[in-house]
Structure 1
Amino acid sequence: MTRLERLRFQVEALGRAVARLEAALAHPKDEFVRDSAIQRFEFCFELAWKALKAYLEVQGLEARSPRMALRLAYEVGLVEEGPWLGLLELRNLTSHTYDEALAERVYSELPQALSLLKALLERLEAELAREER
């Protein structure tokens, strides 16, 4: 698989995951919806950083961790660093959502996370289209 094909695959996977997170957040909130949305956010974040990693590889850069991918994506102007580092912290909190208060906090931040993920997806789709020309 070429770097460009890997990027296309990652962007498509991210698109599907973002749509699923958006669908979960559209439901009336209850415990199951909350937990489902948090899990879907985890998937989205993982796919987002892997899509960033694939994009950076197309650009000749290498990121070995989510934090490094975010830093490099910021340096090339793909994302705003502050909000995305906040998403990384939010993602790190998801392993502790057995704590009800923490689960509620994470869930309350998911609409903003969805907005950032959708903006990234649009940007990556545009970059992919540009690279494929």
Structure 2
Amino acid sequence: MLACARTVHGDYSPVKSAIQIRSSGGLQGKFVADICRGCIHPPCAQACATGALTARKGGGVGLHREKCIGCKKCIDACLVGAIRFDQREGIPIICIQCGACTKNCPHGVLRMEVSSYAE
């Protein structure tokens, strides 16, 4: 989370991270990574009325900050709940598929792979 926030957003707060690591289920629970799955036909981009989010070739979305009006429709449309909102900047926090999280994972459990999610 810190690698994403630092590398992509120049911030040292995990709140600015496009990936969120959380526990799921008490003492015997596992950790879960909430992250963009790189949809080929992203519902978040389809929900964006201003064209601030556009589908990228190969999956995922690109954010055009100047077009974003902060309506948060992309957050509701995301199938995996991977989009959060930056209250200070008034824009969504979007994964750019850069791999900073995988390169800096101290346990080596994250990896980038080609997805057929939401084709």
Give the TM-score of the pair, scaled to structure 1.
Answer: 0.30
Q: More relative contact order in 1 or in 2 (CA 8 Å, sep 6+)?
A: 1
Larger radius of gyration: 1
Higher helix share: 1
